[in-house]
Structure formats: C-alpha cells, structure tokens
Homo-oligomer: A and B are copies of this chain.
Amino acid sequence: MAMEKNDELESLRSQVRDITAQIMRNVHQRMELAKQIGEIKSRLGIDVKDEKVEHEIRLMVLSLADEIGVGRDFALQLLNVLLAESEQVQAQKRPQKGQKQTHLGIFMKAKQLEASGKKIIHMEVGEPDYSPPAAVGESLAESFKLKQYHYTDTRGIPELRDAIARKEGVSEGQVVVTPGGRFAVFSAITSLLKAGQELIVVEPAWPAYKECADFIGAMTKALLTTLENKWAPDLKQLEEMVNPSTKMIALNYPNNPTGKILDNKTMEKIVSIARDNGLYLLSDEVYADYAFKKFASIHEHGYDKSILVSSFSKRYAMTGFRVGYAIASRDIIAKMAKVQAVGITSVAEPMQHAALTALGEDPSENVRTMKKRLDFVSGKLKEMSLRFVEPDGAMYVYPKLPRGDDIALVEKLLEKGVAIAPGSGFGDNYRQFVRISACQPEKTLEKGIDIMASVIKEST
C-alpha cells in the first residue's frame, strides 16, 4: 500500500518538476520582453518605472487570482518579484544615479572632519545644542547605585510605560518604549508590511521611512508636495495612488524638513482614505512639542490602524539617550514588540529611567528657544532672497536655492566648516533645496548662514 502511494507521490513530484521548469521558461521569456521594452523606453527617454502599466497588470493578476483560486497576497508577492526583476533588467541599460547623500551621511562626514581637528558648525543634524533637564543628570548618576542596569521587559520598564500611557491618555498595553523614535518607525514598518507591499510617503520626507521599507523589500511610493503649494499634499492624488498592494501611509507633522503642519480637515480626509482602504497610518510626531500653530495628534482621530511615534530626543534634547516610544492598538504593539525582542532584547535600563525623569520636566523653554531661532533663520534667509515657507513647527527651514544643485553647495560648505543637509536627501525631486537645522545658538547660526550666503553669491 505504502509502495503504491510512493509511486503516486513520485509521479506527482515529477509533474511538479515539469511545471516548475515551465514556469522558469515563461519567466525567462517575460524577462526578454522586459529587456526589449527597456530598450525602447531608453531610446524614447521614458522612465523605467511606469505606475499606470504596473497598476493595470496588478489588477489583471488579482482578477485572474480570484478566477483560478490563488490567494491574492501570494499572487501579488509573486508578481512583485517579477516586476522588481523587470525593472532591474530595464534599469541596467541606464546611467546610474549618483550615490544618495542624506543629512546623516553629512553628519558622519562632519564627525570625521571634527575627529581630524576641523571646527564644524552643525546645521545638518536635528540635535538641539541645549542640555537635557538637570534632573536627568541626577537620575543617571543614581541609576548605578539603584542597580538599574538589567534586562527589562521588551516593551520597557512598567513605570515608564505607565507614565507615557497617562501622558497620552491610553492604556499601558498600547505603549512600547523603543531605542529612539527611529526604531519605533523601523518596527512599525517591518512588522506591518511584507516584501512587495507598498508604503506611501509624503515627500520631501525624512529618509527613514523609505529605508525601513527597503530593508524588508517593501516598495515606497512618494506623494510629492511643492514649495509653490506650501507643501500641502494633493489628496486626490493620494487617493489615486492607493492600490491593492498599498498597506501604509507615513505622515510626519510637524514636518521634517519643511516645518509644515496640516490643518484638521486635511488630516481627517487622510484618515478617511486610510480607513476606506484598510491602511495603516504611521504618524511620526517627534516634533509635536515644537508646534507654533494648532497641532492635533493622530490620536484625536480615533483610528485603530494608526501608530503614533514619539521621542525624548527633540522635546528634551536627549538625542544621545536613544529613547522613543510608539502608541497603537494592542495588536500592533504586540507585533512591534516582537521585532524589538528579535533585534535588541530591551532598551538600556539607565536610559529608560532617565526618560522617566524627563517626563516630569517642562520643555516649554526649549520650544520658545527653537521658535526664536527659526524666526532668526527665516529672517536671514529672507535677506538672501531665498524662497521658502516659514515653518509651522519642527526645527528646520527648507529653502530653495537660486540655482545649482544641493550636493555641490553642501560639499563646498563642508570644506568651509559649515554642515547643512542636502534637500535631495528628503526626495529625489528636491535637488534645489537644502535643510537648515536651527539647533545652534543664534550667533552660530548667523555665522553659518553668512558663510552659506557668500558661497551662494560666489557661484553666481
């Protein structure tokens, strides 16, 4: 009996081998077609990526999947593997884009220059120069005596989770403490998206969202905003971008780099687009304290697939402590905590106690300082006749250069001891912008901007 079954098994396996070979041959044929398409596109100067064609083929595959009884997720996964390969095959014939330069890359270069003895004015990085609350220093000094140096619950020490839950008006099970807001973004994106699925970001954007999506093979679609339109997203365009592979929209208001805050009506509309399409809504609110006009957290929209990301870095100038947190439904927090358990076990305990201490402190002096500095930077940039939108919040100004590209200016300035962030680090379409961080005293900012002004003038 077992023998007969094994014969049957062998016959089925042989059929599997045949059909696998057939699939491979078809895939090869598909690639050859892609190559030919690529050559034509190259001659016509058309972009390799064609959203409309992709969209059509995706709908075709989904309807076919329904018809023949293949799971939609699996069908899309397979299609995405094929699309990615086609794109690569076509792109091979194209000139390579230059290596992308981000604010973090410039910061690393600046750090290396400093290590070799050069003085640098840091206007590239979002790191306030003022000190964390003094009480944080005391907490740090105490933590060793109190033996606060052990593994903790992956989601954070209970006292800190409770304090955050109280501050945010949620239950403790909706909180995870992370090593910086960045890891909250990382664990949200990597736990909620799969390879081939899509994330929508509103550009210009902090590059982390795309980096995290890239990391797991998810795709990022950019909704472009413009200086001319005061960095407001076009919601009709947003609606049109959503397709069956879309799983998440990432928002970041007050915005890095533009300083934009969306009005409530726009936020409501975005939430309703997310709700209608079952999308996660990642709301990175690490600059929420630095809001100079009304800002409403994603919370207030009561959407169960939203994830709020916050941090101690900007509010309390505690960048180097690496503590942030996320607020979401229990289900989402459980998924994010799993990523954290895999990656880091838990956040350093002395840092968690420092954060707990900070929560009792008032950051409003920091906010006033930042507002004054941003006004100062804005004034200077106006004198230079640069075009920009005055920030509603956050810590940056994002002006447009009169001419030339961002990288050339950034590198020339670095030679002169001034570090600023290239605009293209926030999106390929922003090569004529730079981001100036107002995290230094006015005197330092003045010096840096004056050097920038003279370099821009020279290049006329």
Contact = CB atoms under 8 A, between A and B. Distances in A.
A117 interface: no
B21 A40 contact: no
Contacts of A5: 40, 43-44
A20 interface: yes
Interface in A124-155: 125, 127, 131-132, 136-137, 140-141, 143-145, 147-154
A154 B182 CA distance: 13
A65 interface: yes
Contacts of A70: 24, 27-28, 31
Interface in A290-325: 318-322
A19 B8 contact: no
A79 B31 CA distance: 16
A91 B112 CA distance: 53
A164 to B, nearest CB: 16
A15 B31 CA distance: 11
Contact of A149 (B79, B154, B183, B319): B319
Interface in A212-242: 212, 215-217
Contact of A77 (B81, B320, B322, B346): B81
B40 A13 contact: no
Contacts of A215: 190, 339, 342
The 5 closest A-B pairs by CB, nearest first: A137-B144, A320-B349, A149-B320, A141-B141, A150-B320
18 contacts: A5-B44, A8-B40, A9-B37, A16-B37, A17-B57, A19-B26, A23-B23, A23-B78, A24-B64, A24-B78, A27-B70, A104-B345, A111-B153, A127-B150, A132-B144, A140-B144, A179-B348, A348-B351
Given A20-B57, A148-B320, A183-B343, 10 more contacts: A12-B40, A23-B23, A31-B70, A108-B154, A131-B147, A149-B320, A195-B217, A215-B342, A320-B346, A350-B350
